[in-house]
Amino acid sequence: MVKRTGPTNPYLKSLVRELEKSDSAIWQKTAEKLVKATRKRVEVNLSDINRHAKDGDVVLVPGVVLGSGSLQKSVSVAAWKFSGSAEQKIKKAKGKILTIGELVKEKPKGTDVKVIA
């Protein structure tokens, strides 16, 4: 039987602990998704963000943002990780890249945050 250990990355461990302490359901659900095994973690392409977000939206991806597709909207995107091409395309679209920790500080209650998973 394999023992489940959870994330080994020290930053991810501390982020999950902070999210779990939150009173807001959005941050607790985000923590649940980040604790999953790497192979089961959320991966979202820019084309998905482009399809579901509007200009000016704040988008949370509880996992990795990949650069497949294009982004024509100026959105703020918070995620655990970004691929290099995803970062470039978000910046090119005049979007903003945030860590999940930065987003929690900006919006502690999680209001007006659109989750794409």
- Choose among 103, 98, 105: nearest CA to 113: 103
Domains of the chain (ranges plus CATH)?
10-115 (3.100.10.10)
Give the pLDDT confidence of 10-21 residue by residue, as tens digits.
Answer: 999 999 999 999
38 vs 63: CA distance, rounded Å: 9
| Distances 61 to 4, 5, 34, 115 between C-alpha atoms, Å | 24, 23, 10, 6
Q: Which two tokens stand for residue 1?
A: 């039987």
Rounded to an integer, the average pLDDT of 46-54 is: 96
Rounded to an integer, the average pLDDT of 85-95 is: 97
Residue 87 has pLDDT above 70, yes or no: yes
Residue 43 has pLDDT above 70, yes or no: yes
Rounded to an integer, the average pLDDT of 73-95 is: 97
Q: Is 13 helix (H, G, I), strand (E, B) or coil?
A: helix
Q: For every residue of 38-59, which 3-state class applies, written as one string?
A: HHHCEEEEHHHHHHHCCCCCEE
The reported pLDDT for the residue numbered 4 is: 67
Residue 2 has pLDDT above 70, yes or no: no
